[in-house]
Amino acid sequence: MTEPEDASRRRAIPPVICYPTATLPRLSEVQVARARAGWRKVDEVRVAPRDAAAFSAKAGQAFRISCIEGPQVGDLNLWNPNDFSERFYSGKTRALHGTHVTEGNRLWSSFPGLRPMATILADSLAWYGMDPFGGAVHDVIGTRCDPYTKTLLSGGQYHHCCHSNLTRAFSDATGKSILESEAYVHDVLNVFMCTGFTRDTGQYFMKASPVRPGDHLDFLAEIDLLGALSACPGGDCGAEHSSDTAACFPLLVEVFDTDLTPDWIPSPVNGYDRSHGR
């Protein structure tokens, strides 16, 4: 196929940011300071390797996800416990904040809510930035490892992919059946995972996470949250996932009251009138 005469001119057109964030609502410095102050632990949940666990955080509480024993990636789902149809919207969070999230970024909910579910208060891996391969930490580009893709690509039946782990955790937390629960599992925030797209083929890649015991990602819960975190069977995701091959470690979720907790008011749901031109 021959290129058009003006191919180089077309390629030279500079990109524009799809969603400039200058008007995106964000926490004030005062709110961030109060959310980071006066932490009093109220709960903790340990996530076993190759399994998932659910946790709850009230609006205005903080929660911390920690690496505790060895490099480990976590797949995070979030729901509004009063309406499970409002859940974390990985794709829109990516469109607004970029392929990877860090301090100050918000995790947005699905339509029609499209409001902040949580804000990242602190990221001990913020130093990592973007490496020479284009890799960065905490992505919202991967979906979650799942048994369907595993079966498609290599056959077999594997039951400890993050998709299945999150399904069981949601079922245990809500009492819903496994099949009903599966429909509520959604694209994740890949906590501590180091990923990017290859420059030559644009393929999704992963590499060993730089996370080490003691590293953590802290969030303010902006609405009441039911969360589920899976300790991915890929471990640090440096080699493979969807198998029992990789070394896997537990993760810890801790929930805290903060100075902000007593008087935090969640953002209202999105203001679009939903008439869609009719």
For binding to Zn ion (CB under 5 A), which residues are involved? 145, 162, 232
Query: Nearest approach, Cβ of 74 to Zn ion (angstroms)?
Result: 9
Cβ neighbours of residue 114 closer than 8 Å, sequence gap 6 or more: 89, 92, 108, 269, 270
Query: Nearest approach, Cβ of 61 to Zn ion (angstroms)?
Result: 26
Query: Nearest approach, Cβ of 187 to Zn ion (angstroms)?
Result: 12
- Smaller CB separation from Zn ion, 190 or 261: 190
- Encode burial over 110-129: b for 16+ CB neighbours within 10 A, e otherwise: beebbbbbbbbbbbbbeebe
- Smaller CB separation from Zn ion, 54 or 223: 54
User: At residue 181, what are phi and psi to the nearest 5 degrees?
Assistant: -65, -40
Query: Nearest approach, Cβ of 16 to Zn ion (angstroms)?
Result: 34
- Smaller CB separation from Zn ion, 27 or 162: 162
- Smaller CB separation from Zn ion, 67 or 121: 67
- Smaller CB separation from Zn ion, 158 or 256: 158
- Smaller CB separation from Zn ion, 27 or 52: 52
Query: Nearest approach, Cβ of 190 to Zn ion (angstroms)?
Result: 8
Query: Nearest approach, Cβ of 109 to Zn ion (angstroms)?
Result: 22
**What is the residue type of 264?**
W
